Homo-oligomer: A and B are copies of this chain.
């Protein structure tokens, strides 16, 4: 059959329309990738961005000696100070204080008992002197005794309404836009993205899907024990006032992440001394690895606090990064935009 020029154009037009219709029916997403300029748009061009892109391209390229099977492409992210802000206090602390106040009527003894008294009286001086054990007492008292579902509902309701004490926005508005883009970029390259947080696992799960697109099963954190209860014909998990060891910080991070994931990450991103062990564990895998630390050095657009020596901040981490060649990402110079 001979196709005339005019007809052939019509052929192709019709063919394309039908093709697109078939593609539409088949539910197949056609991804059209632009050049590098479109990748990580909220990151400034520089060593950090280039290091990330080079690493991802290498491990995703079958012909590269650093190729990593998609099954092994595990990326783990700390949450507080890495995916969202953590100042003036970890956001979960505001939830904790709110929980203590909400539950106070059921616990009249708290009025005379520290650390509860200081919380109920809004006594900042006493609260400033809280030790980790005080916080733990508050967590265990307020985060237990209810069913798993009740707690999840309370946490979700808090996080979808509560506002930051200084900035007039929801806590969830203080996620870092460049990190959201990085999570997407990794997923597009068949990475499995996990959160490994020192915070409460169920608290983080109450927003991880909505905010980061990270499903609950990909969240690792500090967990409270639960007991299986069968009352009549109904079963549920009751939260019990004990931490499941280890707390998901420092040495606890590699322990808990391996128990959940079953392999070492190939990429790990943290921001504090509590993340060092997770990064070491990633760095020491057989095969390529990328370790990153977020450096809070932008007092104008965010907070600058790396020189403080408080728990959870970046003190030894910068030295370790230098020694091991980890990538230190500067909010000031690497983030074109900080918040969405």
Contact = CB atoms under 8 A, between A and B. Distances in A.
Number of copies: 2
B254 A237 contact: yes
- A interface, size bucket: 35 or more
A302 to B, nearest CB: 29
A236 B280 CA distance: 9
Contact of A14 (B15, B205, B228, B244): B15
Given A15-B11, A71-B209, A281-B228, A262 B219 contact: yes
Contacts of A18: 11-12, 15-16, 19
Given A16-B22, A19-B23, A23-B23, 17 more contacts: A3-B10, A11-B18, A14-B15, A18-B19, A19-B22, A28-B28, A28-B29, A28-B30, A201-B259, A216-B262, A216-B263, A217-B218, A226-B255, A227-B255, A233-B324, A235-B254, A235-B280
A15 B26 contact: no
Contact of A228 (B1, B262, B277): B277
Q: Which 6 A-B pairs have the closest CB atoms?
A: A216-B262, A28-B28, A15-B18, A228-B251, A15-B15, A19-B19
A284 B234 CA distance: 6
A280 B230 CA distance: 9
A125 to B, nearest CB: 37
Interface of A: 1, 3, 7, 10-12, 14-19, 22-23, 26, 28-31, 71, 74, 148, 192, 201-202, 205, 209, 215-219, 223, 225-228, 230, 233-237, 244, 251-252, 254-255, 258-263, 277, 280-281, 283-284, 324
B262 A217 contact: yes
A217 B148 CA distance: 22
B202 A228 contact: no
Contacts of A11: 10-11, 14-15, 18
A259 B220 CA distance: 9
A282 to B, nearest CB: 9
Most buried by B among A74, A217, A234, A252: A217
